Amino acid sequence: MPSCRLSRILASSARKTIVSCAVATLAAAAVFAASLPNLFPFQDKSGIVETDSVNGGFNESGPFFQPLGTNGRACATCHRAENGMGLSAARAEEIFRATNGHDPLFSTVDGAVCPTTTPGHPFDFSLLRHNGLIRVGIKLAASPQFTITAAYDPYGCALITDPVQQTTTVSVYRRPLPSTNLRFVTSVMFDGRETVAPLNDPQTFAANLLTDLKHQAMDATLGHAQATITPSDEQQTQMAEFELALNSAQAIDTSVGRLDSEGALGGPRFLTKVPFFPGINDALGADPTGAAFNPNAFTIYSKWLDSGGPHRRSVARGEEIFNNHPLTITSVRGLNDALNQPSISGTCSTCHDAPNVGNHSVGLPLEIGTSRSANFETNSLIQAAVSRLSMPNLPVYQLVCNEGPDSGEIVYTSDPGKALLTGNCSDIGRGKGLVLRGLASRGPYFHNGSAATLEEVVEFYNTRFQMNLTAQEKRDLVNFLKTL
């Protein structure tokens, strides 16, 4: 954590807190020696975000905060408490300006749009600075069911071929995932590539999750930090256990005050008590207890429906909209095709079913279309929804399916998702849904940063799934999401 100067202004009526945090320079942004108090408040656009550790605070001498590689990076370089253990684009830009681009965050291995450049041409960090995106180079699976070409390649490194190994590396650009609230995840990484031990059995879930997070910590150190020595098993365990102890959430909203007042259950402390196991409240009937799906996945602000404060009532109405407002699910790869149902009636909680957390309680990667290009898209609903977004300037790939049940299909996407790992056309664009806590602290949104604001997120869903929300309903839903 960078060295921060805290000035706290408490108004007894609004109970607001303002935090001023100075950006540290160079490697100091990644290496820390002190301890951060538990629930240390950080200001974001909506109010205050806090992180609670069941260990009672942040011991910043552990390997999570140490540069174990060769480029000065630590886990904490990209996973920052002021951003709910993620990284906002605004914070990336602040760090760039404060350090003239010399902070380890801007290592060229993946901080630049391309890992190499030609003499006389500086490295380009625009996607990290303005959209919070890290370049992820993924080797294409052997013998895929599709051919892949770059329909649009703005940086010249969309597809990198190794002439010796005859392998192709595909450049995709993704947001750093928050390293908090991890005891609720059933897939590690956006495409699940670090789920080396299955996370589908309540009996083995805790042990397997620790195994997966250790493996992810190892790969991140060798890749993002460019380590030449594999971190020890003890270091991997310490990193994973540090992450598993964290819960992050919005604690104060400037419009409504503290989010755990007047009977509400907002803030990170409540998250430590939220029950979870794989399949809990699964919308497709996979709850191992046999319990039926309950669309009321969020119950944090139900007590505010009768609040005397109009802003609190708006938040509570937004929660109700999330749980119960009808939408029509069409053309979602991994759902409509898997169930052989062209149209499914549902609500937001159909896919965001984990109670009071908001991700899917089973590892069900889906493609809703956020990686599609408005310039190439032929599905009118997806095209209209994507047009609502502030899409970054990303490469666009043409995937032509040559075999399997999807043979003949042509897809244009900036991120083929899980298909890069499996080579299956049925996996094109598929990725996991994220935990919906601490949103206000870590924009932009979606895995590729295509939604600049939560307003754009709501506009996308409203269009994509034909929700037909009124202007007031949109405001209520946004107000709810800001308080998570």
Is the model more confident about 144 or about 3? Answer: 144
| pLDDT on residue 34 | 60
Has residue 23 got a pLDDT over 70? no
pLDDT at residue 3 tops 90: no
| pLDDT classification of 26: cutoffs 50, 70, 90 | very low
**Containing H/E element for 256?**
none
Q: Span 15-30, mean pLDDT?
A: 34
Confidence at residue 120, expressed as pLDDT on a 0 to 100 scale: 82
Q: What is the average pLDDT across 195-216?
A: 98
Place of tokens 């009672």: 56
pLDDT tier at 35 (50, 70, 90 boundaries)?
confident
Q: What is the mean pLDDT of residues 180-187?
A: 98
Q: For residue 59, name the pLDDT band (cuts at 50, 70, 90).
A: confident
Cβ pair 39, 59 in contact under 8 A: no
Contact 179, 246 (CB under 8 A): yes
The pLDDT value recorded for residue 57 is: 84
* Residue 419 to residues 129, 153, 291, 334, Cα–Cα distance (Å): 28, 20, 33, 12
Predicted local distance difference test score (pLDDT) of residue 199: 98
pLDDT at 200: 96
Give the pLDDT confidence of 328-375 residue by residue, as tens digits.
999 999 999 999 999 999 999 999 999 999 999 999 999 999 999 999
Burial profile 184-220: b = 16 or more Cβ within 10 angstroms, e = fewer: bbbbbbbbbbbbebebbeeeebeebbbbbbbbbbbeb
Q: Each residue of 61-92: pLDDT tens digit? A: 899 999 999 999 999 999 999 999 999 999 99
Q: Flag the least confident range among 28-37, 268-277, 384-393.
A: 28-37
Res 481: pLDDT:
98
Q: How confident is the model over 143-162, as a mean pLDDT?
A: 97
**Residue 188 CA: distances (Å) to CA of 58, 167, 212, 413:** 23, 25, 7, 22
CA–CA gap between residue 83 and residue 89 (Å, rounded): 10
Query: Residue type at 373?
Result: S
In this predicted structure, the answer to whether residue 461 has a pLDDT above a threshold of 50 is: yes
pLDDT of 14 higher than 80: no
pLDDT of residue 118: 82
What percentage of the chain has pLDDT greater than the value 70?
A: 93
Q: Which tens digit of pLDDT belongs to each residue from 395-450?
A: 999 999 999 899 999 999 999 999 999 999 999 999 999 999 999 999 999 999 99
Q: Hey, is 482 helix, strand or coil?
A: helix
Give pLDDT tens digits for 128-141.
999 999 999 999 99
Mean pLDDT of the chain: 92
Beta-carbon count within 10 A of 351 CB: 21
Please check the confidence at residue 124 and state whether its pLDDT lies above 60.
yes
Distance CA 460, CA 177 (A): 21
pLDDT at 31: 36
Domain residue limits, the chain: 26-372+415-482
Lowest mean per-residue pLDDT among 34-48, 144-158, 302-316, 432-446: 34-48
Q: What average pLDDT does range 232-250 have in this prediction?
A: 98
CA distances from 284 to 18, 191, 243 (A): 43, 21, 29
Residue 11: is its pLDDT beyond 80? no
Pairing of β 134-139 and β 57-59: unpaired
Percent of the chain's residues with pLDDT above 90: 89
b/e sequence 228-258, b meaning 16+ C-beta within 10 Å = eeebeeebbbbbbebbbbbbbbbbbbbbbbb
Q: Provide the pLDDT for residue 119.
A: 83
Q: For the residues 261-265, what does the mean pLDDT come to?
A: 97
Binned at pLDDT 50, 70 and 90, residue 16 comes out as very low
> pTM for the whole thing?
0.93
